[in-house]
Structure 1
Amino acid sequence: MAATTPITSAIFGATGLVGAHIVTSLLTLDTYGTVHTITRRAPQQSSDAALAKKLDAIVEPDTQQWVPKLNELFTGADSQTAPTTVFSALGTTRLAAGGIANQWKIDHDLNVEIARAAKAAGVKTFIFVSSTGTRSLFSRYLPYSKMKNGVEDTIKELGFDQAIIVQPGLILGDREVEHQGAGLFKALAKATGSVSQGLHDSLAQDAEVIARAAAHATLLASQGKAPSKYWIVGPQAIIKLGRDEWKF
């Protein structure tokens, strides 16, 4: 299932729960070449020297400089490693950001800026880790849903050769700072697992599985196997691509 040439990529949100797993997934797959990350702090380094060599970790505490840093990847001396693919698992919480206005600047505005810069630079494939259920009758009016939907709509309008929108349910995994109410939701998800694995999978997915699904979907897209130019990967597809069919 190897692509003709290694896929070069850039990842935003690489120190977050899903983003960190995306980095690990891409580094361990031979079909992916150089992996650029642009983060406030350095991502976790691989203990494998060969894998660590594939990682180009760009640390920039000022998020306003992230788009310029992305642009530099296309104009630098080593343009052969310029990313053809950009992943964004970038997001924060209202509490961590200090209010909804600040959260909007990260979850919506910065993601939109990244997508637009990627398109302008000639990136072929853009992958955005969003959320499921944001377009239901009532939830679409909530600030969180408006942020996610706004980014998704922008990505679709930009017309990438391939756009992949990963829409997980509740994301399971150990965060450095847990979201408000996460403990209760995780307990409920665990309870559903004891009743029905299918119900559990539809409600919640492990961060590692979500990341693998993003990597797997991108690999399939590079082989011309994506079902559509604008591919929405929901909970069922996440489980299929990131767990059941993950054979790498």
Structure 2
Amino acid sequence: MASYFILGSTGLCGSHFLTTALQSSEISKILTISRRQPTPKQKDIDVSKLQTTVEKDTDKWPELITKNSKELVGSSTPIKGNTFFSGFGTTRKAAGSAENFLAIDRDINIKAFQAAKDSGIYETAVLVSAMNSNINSSFLYPKAKGEIEEAVVKMGFKRTIILKPGVLLGERDESKGFPNNLSETIGGFLRNTLHVEKGAYPIYGDEVGKVGLFLSLKPAEKEGEVLYVGPSELLQIARENGFSKQ
């Protein structure tokens, strides 16, 4: 039985990852840290194995990740198979500036994964990135995502899984603005057509969460394995395993 630490448990993909993890008989304990209390996407779900930490000061998160993870080791839960997941992120608009965006989206993720790695408790790292991530990009968002990917891979988890979804569909607590809403509308229309690539491979947040959990529960094929799961592959895995929505 494995334990999971979820960062971004209140977001589109993270909340669905949390819900699916709560339903899994292969997971004994789930820890989260967030700025507000996470809520499972399904009602009447058993949350007895969920331990949440609400802390608005994100500068404290790395220390809390270390502390809470070490408390986990003191329980009867074995270390083998433990996973650190992050679907945490923001937008430049929400952050208010490019500088704030990098401090939140990039830096918090990197510091959180480093704290998880340094704890010695997590074998697998799962990161929700983006299909256009590119460390050499001249654009802010894809470059930041590429920098997070590179940093996490260099940390050397036993296994690293990087999910690179296309346009994300699903209900959000907050709108991400007109351009994102337009992309979702176009993507939703093209999703089940022969032109899915023109809609940037639209995928629902719950599909990403289910695929992420599915892959994380599979045994690593080799030490230091790094899996990059692109947008078309994410859709394929979702369809083949019954995770896909109509």
TM-score (norm 1): 0.87
8 A contact 1:129–1:166 mirrored in 2: yes
Using the alignment, how far apart are the partners of 2:103 and 2:151 within structure 1? Answer: 15
| Equivalence for 1:207 | 205
Any idea what SS the aligned residue of 1:203 has? coil
Q: Show the 5 A alignment for 1:118-133.
A: 118-122=116-120, 123-133=122-132
Q: Which structure: greater helix fraction?
A: 1
Using the alignment, how far apart are the partners of 2:238 and 2:72 within structure 1? Answer: 35
The one of 152, 155, 159 aligned to 1:155:
152
Letter in 2 for 1:128: L
Using the alignment, how far apart are the partners of 1:26 and 1:108 within structure 2? Answer: 25
Change (3 A) 1:101 1:197: same
Shift of 1:245: 1.1
Deviations 1:100-159 (A, max 9, x none): 11111111111110111111111211111000122398xx22111121111100111111
| Equivalence for 2:22 | 27
Letter in 2 for 1:114: A
| Equivalence for 2:67 | 72
8 A contact 2:135–2:146 mirrored in 1: no
Change (3 A) 1:177 1:116: same
Any idea what SS the aligned residue of 1:208 has? helix
Deviations 1:58-106 (A, max 9, x none): 1111111111111112332762348721001010111111111111111
| Equivalence for 1:89 | 87
Deviations 1:140-180 (A, max 9, x none): 22111121111100111111100000000110011121212
TM-score (norm 2): 0.87
| Equivalence for 1:191 | 189
Percent pairwise identity: 27
Any idea what SS the aligned residue of 2:212 has? helix
Using the alignment, how far apart are the partners of 2:14 and 2:104 within structure 1? Answer: 15
Shift of 1:227: 11
**Segments of 4+ moved more than 3 angstroms:** 45-49, 197-202, 224-228
Using the alignment, how far apart are the partners of 1:217 and 1:72 within structure 2? Answer: 27
Q: Show the 5 A alignment for 1:1-248.
A: 6-45=1-40, 47-48=43-44, 51-76=46-71, 79-80=74-75, 81=77, 84-122=82-120, 123-135=122-134, 140-180=137-177, 181-193=179-191, 195-196=193-194, 198-199=196-197, 203-220=201-218, 223-225=219-221, 229-246=225-242
**Worse overlay, 115-124 or 181-190:** 181-190
Shift of 1:242: 3.0
8 A contact 2:167–2:200 mirrored in 1: no
Extract unaligned runs of 5+ from structure 2: none
8 A contact 1:124–1:161 mirrored in 2: yes
